Chains A and B, each alone.
Chain A
Amino acid sequence: DIHLTQSPSFLSASVGDRVIITCRASQVISSYLAWYQQKPGKAPKLLIYAASTLQSGVPSRFSGSASGAEFTLTISSLQPEDFATYYCQQPDSYPITFGQGTRLEIK
């Protein structure tokens, strides 16, 4: 199984801050990685797929990158609606796996 480790698990930040969340895969997964945002009581929402492609309708302050087995999600300037939990996912190797999540809260 491909294990995904997100860091940090919890992050406290302020509106306007630049935030970086990291997802490290236990083995090389090429560029097959997605990022989701989940707010309380809601289904996850796709933000980025193929490591760096922004899903249609997602604000450009979200971006993704990859370097080997390490992937990052960057939010360039936090907005109030960005406080949520973020998950990475590898969609291509069975079993499909998710990171444990990063909870982003308002400082």
Chain B
Amino acid sequence: EVQLVESGGGLVQPGGSLRLSCAASGFTFSDHYIDWVRQAPGKGLEWVGRSRNRAHSYTTESAASVKGRFTISRDDSKNSLYLQMKSLKTEDTALYYCARDGGDDVDAYDFWGQGTMVTVSS
């Protein structure tokens, strides 16, 4: 069974840092692109960034709103994806999901985690 489990969320002051984790199981982690998607309270979905798979050298993409502040990395030996967030702003407050891209056969997020909440407030 495919599972994605996020952790690491919490309350942080503006300007602070936080590291989110996404633990994957039930599939070959290195074969898939894994993305971070966030949802501010009562708002829609916003793409944060992507980690490509081993075949694409684990390269990353990021949304303009987080570029230079957020860094995506992964450790295939631990089947885990990470989101290192720094210089956090109040507008980064959101539920952060990791989501699996289904690959060439399913060009969409076929599995999502349950999310981890990040609150940026003084």
Quick one: which of A32, A87, A94 contacts B45, CB cutoff 8 A?
Answer: A87
Measured between alpha carbons, how far is A62 from B106 in the docked complex, in Å?
Answer: 17
Which B33-59 residues have C-beta < 8 A from chain A? 35, 44-47, 50
- Whether B115 contacts A49 by the Cβ 8 Å rule is no
Inter-chain CA distance A45–B99, complex, in Å, is 10
For chain B, the count of residues having a C-beta within 8 Å of the partner chain is 21
Given A49-B102, A96-B47, A98-B44, A34 and B108 contact (CB-CB distance below 8 Å): yes
> A95 at interface (Cβ–Cβ under 8 A)?
yes
Distance of A34 Cα from B108 Cα, bound (Å): 6
In the bound complex, do residue B35 and residue A96 qualify as a contact, i.e. CB atoms below 8 Å apart?
yes
Which residues of B have CB within 8 Å of A44? 45, 97, 109, 112
Question: B75 at the A/B interface (Cβ < 8 Å)?
Answer: no
Tell me, rounded to whole Å, the shortest Cβ–Cβ distance linking A34 to chain B: 4
| A36–B109 touching, CB < 8 Å | yes
For A50, A95, A99, the residue with the greatest tally of chain B CB atoms inside 10 Å of its CB is A95
| B61 close to A101 (CB less than 8 A) | no
Question: Does B44 lie within 8 Å of A95, measured CB to CB?
Answer: no
Tell me whether B47 and A43 are in contact (CB under 8 A).
no
Secondary structure at chain A's binding surface: helix, strand, loop or mixed? loop
Does A87 contact B44, Cβ atoms closer than 8 Å? yes
Check: A92 CB closer than 8 A to any chain B CB: yes
Q: Are A43 and B112 in contact (CB under 8 A)?
A: yes
Q: How far is the CB of A52 from chain B (nearest CB, A)?
A: 12
B residues in contact with A87, CB < 8 Å: 44-45
1/0 per residue, CB under 8 A from B, across A77-107: the answer is 0000000000101011011111111000000
A44-B45, A46-B110 known, 20 other contacts, Cβ within 8 Å: A36-B45, A43-B97, A43-B114, A43-B115, A44-B112, A45-B112, A46-B106, A46-B108, A49-B102, A49-B106, A87-B44, A89-B45, A91-B101, A92-B107, A94-B61, A95-B63, A96-B47, A98-B44, A98-B46, A99-B44
A residues within 8 Å of B by Cβ?
A: 32, 34, 36, 38, 43-46, 49-50, 55, 87, 89, 91-92, 94-101
